[in-house]
């Protein structure tokens, strides 16, 4: 007999759990909860699954964690049967995988597509979440899980004249599903973050002319992507049990070679040889060349200068090369980009780089934009201008906890969570990879699986013990918020104006959002919290409700 539901029968269309999002978090959570006999509703604003990969279909969009690791580990048959065509998968292959998982585990019919959750208000009487969707449907749920992703609220800066521009516009994070052709067109790309750095080389091959507007130059490492070989896939598949376990305790949730030497304890020749070798291998593992790159500025400078010299060697025009050399932040303190032929693209005759670090875009015009009095004409503008990361998607839903407190109000000075999982005064609201957890500073699927398992286990723990409510204690939350900052400020990360700090959104409070002590350390902390009877959380029993 399947276990009974945690939600007492009611006249409302009530379920045990409402899930927002059918990306990798929502899909796995749906699978876990349904397997345990819990009733669910899962709402997804897109018309398909895959989350970030559903939306980010821009040319060149590709994951920079290799696919043998950027994939689910919860089901051995799944990881044995699936074949990845390349080392680092492109967006279409990752979507195909998400579709496969959805159908393999029978999840599709349990998802409401093209439906957004607009509001979720906690009702303290019956201790339920009252949820309203974009279709006007109202439902109640005992538990409410935000699984909408960390980087899913696309951001176009409020440029003067934005509405005047009559050409085509695109944002990398909301790319159309139908094919986009830039053939014969004059195209602008605004921004030089991870998305732009992947898109620029591909757009440049097609467009008649491409102009890139760069505010801050970025560090990027060649991906050295290549077709998957059977031998390589087999090494993973034959050792998945041990490898997945090891990954879960690695600093970034990725199995890679880390060097436990300081960059400053070796000779210059050894240091350069180490960088050279990691550059040859490619990928974001480059940062693991020495153990103090993210904590010691002098060590960091040696790596940064190595990359700048690679740029100077690659880009033929010395003026362009110097503009492309990042100097505003230590390497790694903004997301390290991974590319295919990025710097080489600036050697093409049809590509121009415009430095807007000193003279920002003045305004958009009917047919282009102006910078420092110079007019540019474009048939299409690609905004690669990023996202309101980590909190944007949470704030898109009108979430109110005890006493009608709005999440936005509680977090006015920055996100406050316990373990990046829950926030006090919002009982039974869980966030998958929320602010204050390793999330974006890790292999997202490793972190997603850990959070989903923790949330699903907690909901089942509550059901089995007749517990109606879980909520973090204020003191535990305060301590965690301080701890997240303390860890961040022992590193060089806060030296960059990054989206990790909320610095890319005007008016957003400056608080370092991800927890960067490492995925392994974080997992152990969570294991200890649960092992010590959910230390830092308080529960309320079902009985208390009956007595009310
Ligand atoms: P991003 O890193 O935030 O980059 C946004 C770019 O737009 C920056 O170059 C920024 O300049 C520029 N920009 C923003 N506002 C501007 C303005 N008003 N005028 C001129 N330029 C402006 O966004 P993203 O590239 O979309 O990447 C976001 C995150 O998504 C990444 O950090 C990564 O975590 C993830 N991602 C991952 C992959 C991958 O797996 N390979 C690929 C793409 C994205 P400033 O730097 O000066 O602020």
Q: What is the pLDDT of residues 424-445, one digit of tens each?
A: 999 999 999 999 999 999 999 9
For tokens 């204050």, name the residue. Answer: 436
Span 384-395, mean pLDDT?
A: 97
Span 85-95, mean pLDDT?
A: 98
Dihedral of alpha carbons 21, 514, 407, 29, sign: positive
Residue 271 pLDDT > 50: yes
pLDDT for position 499: 97
> Which ligand 1 atom sits nearest the alpha carbon of residue 386?
23
Residue 501 lies in a domain: yes
| Cα 500 to ligand 1 centre (Å) | 11
> Which ligand 1 atom sits nearest the alpha carbon of residue 385?
7
233: Cβ–Cβ under 8 A, 6 or more apart, which residues?
A: 68, 83, 84
> Which ligand 1 atom sits nearest the alpha carbon of residue 361?
19
Residue 29 lies in a domain: yes
Q: Fill in the DSSP letter of residue 271.
A: H
* Cα–Cα distance, 71 to 533 (Å, whole number): 31
Using pLDDT thresholds of 50, 70 and 90, give the confidence band for residue 1: very low
For tokens 């961040």, name the residue. Answer: 488
pLDDT for position 121: 98
Residue 536 lies in a domain: yes
Contact call for residues 468 and 542 (beta carbons, < 8 A): yes
Average per-residue pLDDT in the chain?
A: 96
- Ligand 1: residue of 59, 152, 215 to mutate (most ligand atoms within 8 A of CB) is 215
Give the number of domains in the chain: 1
| Cα 392 to ligand 1 centre (Å) | 15
Residue 402 pLDDT > 70: yes
Q: Say which CATH number the domain at 71 has.
A: 3.50.50.60
pLDDT for position 127: 97
How would you classify the pairing of strands 398-400 and 209-214?
unpaired
- Containing domain of residue 21, as a range? 13-153+389-547
Residue 276 lies in a domain: no
Contact call for residues 440 and 389 (beta carbons, < 8 A): yes
Dihedral of alpha carbons 481, 487, 490, 494, sign: negative
Closest CA to 28 of 522, 312, 462, 433: 433
| Cα 97 to ligand 1 centre (Å) | 26
Residue 143 lies in a domain: yes
Residues with CB under 6 A from ligand 1: 62-64, 151, 157, 172, 190-196, 198, 213, 215-216, 335, 338, 356, 361, 384-387, 440, 499, 504
- Ligand 1: residue of 191, 197, 220, 443 to mutate (most ligand atoms within 8 A of CB) is 191
Q: b/e map of 401-419 (b: 16 or more CB within 10 Å)?
A: beeeeebeebbeebbbbbb
* Cα–Cα distance, 455 to 449 (Å, whole number): 10
Q: Fill in the DSSP letter of residue 422.
A: B
Residue 349 pLDDT > 50: yes
| Cα 134 to ligand 1 centre (Å) | 29
* Cα–Cα distance, 416 to 424 (Å, whole number): 8
Residue 9 pLDDT > 60: no
Torsion of CA 286, 288, 294, 295, to 10 degrees: -150
Q: Which tens digit of pLDDT belongs to each residue from 127-156?
A: 999 999 999 999 999 999 999 999 999 999
| Cα 539 to ligand 1 centre (Å) | 41
Cα distances (angstroms) measured from residue 255 to each of 87, 232, 281, 371:
14, 14, 15, 45
| Cα 192 to ligand 1 centre (Å) | 6
Residue 528 lies in a domain: yes
471 DSSP β-pair partners: 538
* Cα–Cα distance, 279 to 315 (Å, whole number): 17
Burial grade of 313 (CB within 10 A; 0-12, 13-18, 19 or more) = exposed
Q: Which tens digit of pLDDT belongs to each residue from 174-208?
A: 999 999 999 999 999 999 999 999 999 999 999 99
Q: What is the pTM of this model?
A: 0.96
Query: How many of the other CB atoms lie within 10 Å of CB of 53?
Result: 23
Residue 122 lies in a domain: yes
Residue 430 lies in a domain: yes
């Amino acid at each position: 007999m399947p276990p009974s539901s945690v939600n007492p029968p009611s006249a409302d269309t009530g379920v045990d759990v409402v899930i927002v999002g059918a990306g990798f978090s929502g899909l796995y959570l749906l699978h876990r909860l349904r397997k345990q006999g819990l009733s669910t509703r899962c709402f997804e604003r897109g018309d398909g699954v895959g989350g970030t990969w559903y939306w980010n279909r821009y040319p060149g969009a590709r994951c920079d964690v290799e696919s043998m690791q950027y994939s689910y580990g919860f089901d051995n048959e799944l990881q044995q049967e699936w074949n990845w065509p390349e080392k680092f998968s492109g967006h279409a292959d990752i979507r195909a995988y998400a579709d496969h998982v959805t159908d393999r585990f029978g999840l599709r019919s349990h998802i409401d597509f093209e439906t957004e959750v607009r509001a979720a208000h906690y009702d303290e009487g019956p201790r339920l979440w009252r949820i309203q969707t974009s279709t006007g449907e109202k439902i109640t749920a005992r538990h409410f899980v935000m699984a909408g992703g960390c980087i899913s609220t696309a951001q176009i800066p409020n440029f003067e004249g934005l509405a005047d521009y009559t050409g085509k516009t695109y944002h990398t994070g909301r790319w159309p599903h139908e094919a986009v052709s830039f053939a014969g067109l004059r195209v602008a790309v605004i921004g030089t973050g991870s998305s732009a750095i992947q898109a620029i080389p591909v757009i440049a091959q097609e467009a008649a002319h491409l102009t890139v507007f760069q505010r801050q130059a970025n560090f990027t490492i060649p991906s050295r992507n290549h077709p998957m070989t059977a031998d390589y896939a087999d090494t993973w598949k034959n050792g998945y049990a041990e490898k997945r376990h090891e990954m879960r305790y690695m600093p970034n949730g990725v199995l890679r070679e880390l060097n436990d030497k300081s960059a400053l304890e070796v000779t210059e020749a050894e240091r350069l040889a180490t960088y050279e070798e990691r550059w040859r291998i490619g990928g974001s593992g480059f940062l693991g060349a020495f153990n103090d790159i993210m904590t010691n500025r002098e060590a960091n400078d040696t790596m940064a200068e190595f990359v700048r010299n690679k740029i100077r060697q690659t880009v033929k025009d010395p003026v362009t090369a110097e503009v492309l050399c990042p100097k505003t932040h230590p390497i790694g303190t903004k997301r390290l980009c991974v590319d295919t032929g990025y710097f080489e693209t600036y050697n093409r005759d049809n590509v121009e780089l415009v430095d807007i670090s000193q003279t920002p875009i003045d305004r958009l015009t009917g047919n282009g934009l102006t910078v420092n009095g110079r007019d540019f004409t474009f048939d299409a503008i690609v905004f690669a201008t990023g996202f309101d990361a980590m909190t944007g998607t949470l704030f898109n839903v009108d979430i109110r906890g005890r006493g009608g407190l709005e999440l936005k109000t509680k977090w006015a000075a920055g996100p406050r969570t316990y373990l990046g999982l829950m926030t006090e005064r919002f009982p039974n609201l869980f966030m998958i990879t929320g602010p204050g957890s390793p999330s974006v500073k890790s292999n997202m699927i490793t972190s997603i699986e850990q959070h989903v398992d923790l949330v699903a286990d907690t909901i089942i723990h509550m059901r089995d013990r007749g517990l109606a409510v879980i909520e973090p204690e204020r003191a535990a939350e305060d301590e965690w918020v301080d701890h997240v900052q303390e860890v961040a400020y022992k590193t060089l990360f806060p030296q960059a104006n990054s989206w990790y700090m909320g610095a890319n959104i005007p008016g957003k409070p400056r608080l370092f959002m991800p927890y960067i002590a490492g995925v392994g350390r974080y997992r152990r902390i969570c294991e200890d919290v649960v092992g010590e009877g959910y230390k830092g959380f308080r529960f309320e029993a079902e009985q208390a409700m009956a007595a009310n």
